[in-house]
Amino acid sequence: MFRTEPEDFQVDEIIDLQPSGEGEHLLLHIRKRDQNTTWVAGLLATLAGINRNDVSYCGMKDRFAVTTQWYSLHLPGRELDAGQLQHDDFEIIAQCRHHKKLRRGMHRGNQFNILLRDFRVDPVLVAQRLEMIEQQGVPNYFAEQRFGHKGGNLYEAQKLIVADQLKGNRHGTGLYLSAARSWLFNLVVANYIERDDLTDQTGPLWGRGRSNASADNRQIESEVLAEWHSWCYALEHAGLAQERRNLLLKPENLTASWPQTDYLRLQFALPRGCFATALLRELAELFRPKFEAL
């Protein structure tokens, strides 16, 4: 079983940052349980008496989990009382001043500590699969949460594309723009898997500009996304430059232990923007022979 309790899914943000000790921004290292990133950002703004736009963070973290991450509050010339930012929905682990605010994507990655309950699979098979994952990697899919509840973000993206209103974040549609790019990337990943040709190369995060992929890869991507021409066109005119993302995801420092006979604990680190569920879905394949035999 996956995520029976928030403690089953622990995420710690990895950030290479040496605070200056002074400056207009207050950095807060926060631990939260069963709270999403934006909700806590709003609470911090209210408690500090500042505009919500003056609270920044590097990346979104799962809600149903125990997570730690950094926030920055723009407080030029202001000091806060120690208790002013206290709230039952989060815990402040550390705080310090810095001369720059945090920006999205500024973190290096995330460290995961995941407990899978009732995981009744031969430990030898698990060890073999984890060794394969560590050596070969897994498909670097964007996870379901990127697309919203029942894919709602994709439906909204389609509406905006039809209305020619899919623009950058400053227009309030960044969430749907990101979902659209991620969906197209996943289609490319799935096609390479079907071709049995998923290797250590990159796929498109669609936008304006010429791709630096090989001619063969550009041809494959063009064929896969031919039916999504309107989405590609909209993304090219949404204010984002084309980027590339690795098709394969390789976890760092992957370890496994068995706290109980049928409890599997996994610990590993992933680069920013990558999802632990991409790794977990490969482990879930170990259950498939059981179900196919029924």
Does residue 125 sit in the same domain as residue 90? no
Q: Please state, rounded to an integer, the average pLDDT across all residues of the chain.
A: 91
Q: Give the model's pLDDT for residue 287.
A: 63
List of residues 6+ apart from 203 with CB closer than 8 A: 185, 188, 189, 192, 221, 244, 245, 246, 247
Residue type, 228: W
Give residue-wise pLDDT tens across range 142-187: 998 899 889 999 999 999 999 988 876 555 678 899 999 999 999 9
Please give the residue that has the higher pLDDT: either 224 or 166: 224
Q: Is 264 helix (H, G, I), strand (E, B) or coil?
A: strand
Q: CB of 234 within 8 A of CB of 125?
A: no
Q: 69 with 205, same domain? A: no
> Is residue 19 one of the residues assigned to a domain?
yes
Number of domains within the chain? 3
My answer on whether 170 and 73 are in the same domain is: no
φ/ψ region of 21 (left if φ > 0, alpha if ψ in -120 to 50, else beta) reads: left
Q: Provide the token pair at 78.
A: 């202001």
C-alpha to C-alpha distances, 176 to 69, 120, 127, 159, nearest whole angstrom: 24, 38, 38, 10
* Confidence at residue 191, expressed as pLDDT on a 0 to 100 scale: 96
- Domain end, chosen from 215, 233, 248, is at 248
The answer to whether position 21 is within a domain reads yes
Residue 62 annotated among the catalytic residues of the structure? yes
Q: 157 with 92, same domain? A: no
Model confidence pLDDT, tens digit, residues 237-278: 998 899 999 999 999 999 999 999 999 999 999 999 999 999
Phi first, then psi: what are they for 254, rounded to 5°? -75, 120
Domain CATH number, residue 59: 3.30.2350.20
pLDDT in tens, 53-101: 999 999 999 999 999 999 999 999 898 887 899 999 999 999 999 999 9
Shared domain for 196 and 268, answered yes or no, is no
167 and 73 housed in the same domain: no
pLDDT at 169: 58
Q: Look at residue 293 in the predicted model and tell me its pLDDT.
A: 38
Backbone angles phi, psi at 223, to 5 degrees: -70, -45
Question: Which residue carries 């008496």 as its tokens?
Answer: 49
For residue 180, being part of any structural domain is answered with yes
Do 257 and 116 lie in one domain? The reply is yes
pLDDT for 1 equals 67
State residue 135's pLDDT score. Answer: 93
Do 169 and 67 lie in one domain? The reply is no
Handedness of CA 122, 124, 129, 130 (dihedral sign): positive
Do residue 208 and residue 280 come from a single domain? no
Let me know if residue 194 belongs to a domain: yes
| Vertex 240 angle, CA 252 and 150, to 5° | 65
Please identify which of the residues 34, 54, 62, 88 carries the catalytic annotation. Answer: 62
Is residue 71 assigned to a domain? yes
State percent of the chain over pLDDT 70: 95
Rounded to an integer, the average pLDDT of 110-130 is 94
Query: What distance in Å separates the CA atoms of residue 204 and residue 187, rounded to the nearest whole number?
Result: 10
Q: Read off the pLDDT of residues 285-294 as tens digits, 9 standing for 90 and up.
A: 876 544 343 3
Is 42 a domain residue? yes
Work out the average pLDDT over 98-127. Answer: 94
**Enclosing domain of residue 125:** 110-135+250-293
Least trusted range by pLDDT, from 182-186, 211-215, 232-236, 289-293? 289-293
AA identity, residue 235: L
> Do the domain assignments include residue 1?
no
Strand 66-74, strand 9-14: pairing: parallel
167 and 184: one domain? yes
Q: Is 279 inside a domain boundary?
A: yes
Alpha helices per DSSP H over the chain: 37-48, 123-136, 152-162, 174-194, 215-224, 229-236, 276-284, 288-293
> Based on the domain organization, do 68 and 194 belong to the same domain?
no
Return the CATH number at 159: 3.30.2340.10
Structure-model confidence comparison of residues 228 and 286, the more confident one: 228
Q: Which long-range contacts does 146-152 make (Cβ < 8 Å, 24+ apart)?
A: 146/178, 146/179, 146/182, 146/275, 147/179, 147/182, 147/183, 148/175, 148/179
Are 191 and 225 within one domain?
yes
Q: Residue 81's pLDDT is what?
A: 81
